[in-house]
A and B are shown apart, each in its own frame.
Chain A
């Protein structure tokens, strides 16, 4: 992509920014179409909600912009951004150098480390005793890159899922021995009734694969939108909107870079 696809993409992007600036088209906030509770999920009434959705709406309010939540298959969310199907990715997207080569980021609005979840009575140590075990991670996440980079020699079998829920589900069904995922999502997960026998066993160390925190992903050259969003992020961090939402959803304040 570095050599060939980018010029094509950025040509498309140029024409697109021309359009977003002029038309009254709402800004399409791309979230994962696969539920990622409590960040993004869908109620039976069919409405998308969650921390990211509500924060996204707060940001749009701060920018006085018209926004539309646009669910997109997670594994294809980067191409969806660059082909203009969505205007931003707002779904616990960690800022990493690798991603920065293809998309732009706003300032970070929260940071959480990766956490390992396994059965309380599991007899192996994490991460040192993972040899011969199966570890589930969600593909196209920083946790997946971390697992593949840092755990490659540990003898662990890494199973890559399209959706975090599938990994969670397979942990409960005993099909994987442990999962590695965002700590907040995992803290929420182990509180579920069905996950009683499971706990956060360890936290992954800070690693370049995890990046600098979570920001909103944007097309490169979409500078006007980035500046507007940075201002809006500063505002929701400042006035406590983000902190209030964080406490509502996670019981703790994760806001800030």
Chain B
């Protein structure tokens, strides 16, 4: 490319890096909320109450059968209306001010939670029954059994799925650019449109996402070694 596009690349470095930071923030928050939703969803799917099971199954099945982009657009509109209605029902006055950041995190977390539900469900089912029975025999309460036995015992089974979902989430953050939220890819699109150096800027965007995904691969590999430290032969 010519020197003008080099100059414009420099001029846009700041906004693009800022967009990259926003992308990481969205991904981390959505992942954390998605983990919580996944634990709740898996507990619901494994619960003894049929109504709760149906709710959990419905959530994970419907969300996973519909394209992410479609869900993001639907939730973008429905989410703020639903929240406002809930807020009004709780006695709140006026409209909740829901920013783009909250919306982006919320919809990605909602989608992520559905996939996470399946990962956790499978991982919990893979825990040998004897371990849970041992916990019961020692008089663990349900809560402390969940915290002390179920979670540590399922993590080695869940971690490959969790790392896979994190990578998908990082890549899915680009989808919120479609609803006009300024994360990394939205900024890159603006940069490309105003400088007309499409090839360069989209390649740069790809490289930045690659750094994020490869970097987190390394982190997850370390985490997996850590949670498997008690196991042999893996």
- Residues from chain B with a CB closer than 8 A to the CB of A41 are 194
Are B180 and A76 in contact (CB-based, < 8 A)?
yes
Give the contact-size bracket for chain A: 20 to 34
Stretch at the interface among A77-85, A128-136, A153-161: A77-85
Q: Which residues does chain B contribute within 8 Å of A19, judged by CB atoms?
A: 93-95
Q: Is the C-beta of B202 less than 8 angstroms from some C-beta in chain A?
A: no
**Chain A residues positioned under 8 Å from B81 (CB to CB):** 8, 12, 83
Q: Is the CB of A85 within 8 A of B194?
A: no
CB <8 Å contact, B11 and A18: no
Known: A15-B93, A46-B15. A85 touches B98 (CB 8 A): yes
CB contact under 8 A between A84 and B95, given known A34-B180, A194-B196: yes
A15 touching B95, Cβ below 8 Å: yes
Contacts A71-B180, A73-B178 hold; do A44 and B80 have CB atoms under 8 A apart? no
Inter-chain contact B95/A12, CB cutoff 8 Å: yes
The size class of the interface chain B forms with chain A is 20 to 34
Q: Is A42 an interface residue (CB 8 A)?
A: yes
Question: Which residue of B has the minimal Cβ distance to A84?
Answer: B95
Most buried by A among B93, B95, B194: B95
**Complex contact B94–A16 (CB within 8 A):** yes
If the complex has contacts A72-B180, A76-B179, are A35 and B80 also in contact, measured as CB distance less than 8 A?
no
Interface mask (B193-212 → A, CB under 8 Å = 1, otherwise 0): 11010000000000000000
A61 CB–B CB distance under 8 Å: no
- 28 A-B pairs within 8 Å (CB atoms) are namely A8-B81, A12-B85, A15-B84, A15-B88, A15-B93, A19-B93, A33-B180, A33-B186, A34-B180, A35-B190, A41-B194, A44-B12, A44-B194, A46-B14, A46-B15, A71-B182, A73-B179, A73-B180, A76-B73, A76-B76, A76-B77, A79-B77, A83-B77, A83-B80, A84-B84, A85-B98, A165-B193, A194-B196
Residues of A within 8 A of B (CB): 8, 12, 15-16, 18-19, 23, 25, 33-35, 41-42, 44, 46, 71-74, 76, 79, 83-85, 165, 169, 194
